[in-house]
Amino acid sequence: MDLDGPPPTPLHHILHTSQSGTIALITPLDEPTYRRLSALATFLTNALDHACGLNPRAYRAVESEGFGSRGIVDGGVLRRWGELGSQRRAEACGKVGVEEWALRSDLEVLGGAGLGV
């Protein structure tokens, strides 16, 4: 056990429900993870077919008023990473600039691993 480094920060999730009955899980991300997953989501929206011709970027767009706010990385799009073949996954890892095991780890955290599911 390495005791020299700082203790890991606890993982927090926000479980959001609405009056219409939808349930969403919001996970705050640190900057490097956000950049990796945002790049992966951009790659996936260009590489995969969209259901009914819908654009998954259209409802995630955020109008910034100059405060530097960022959009939400859609976990539904990221979970479709497994639909790619091994060659396309390797291409995606090359574009994102990270190894496949690191992306799998990030996707596991987004999937609610902190909730004990």
Is 20 within the bounds of a domain?
no
Q: What pLDDT is attached to residue 87? A: 92
Quote the mean pLDDT of the chain. Answer: 78
CA distance 110 to 74: 10
Q: Count of domains in the chain?
A: 1
Q: Where are the alpha helices (DSSP H) in 10-99?
A: 31-47, 75-79, 86-96
Is 58 within the bounds of a domain?
yes
Confidence grade of residue 117 (pLDDT, cut at 50, 70, 90): very low
* Structural domain that includes position 79: 29-62+70-115
pLDDT tens readout for residues 73-89: 888 888 888 888 899 99
Q: What pLDDT is attached to residue 67? A: 57
Is 104 within the bounds of a domain?
yes
Confidence grade of residue 57 (pLDDT, cut at 50, 70, 90): low
SS (H, E, C) 77-115: HHHHHHHCCHHHHHHHHHHHCCCHHHHHHHHHHHCCHHH
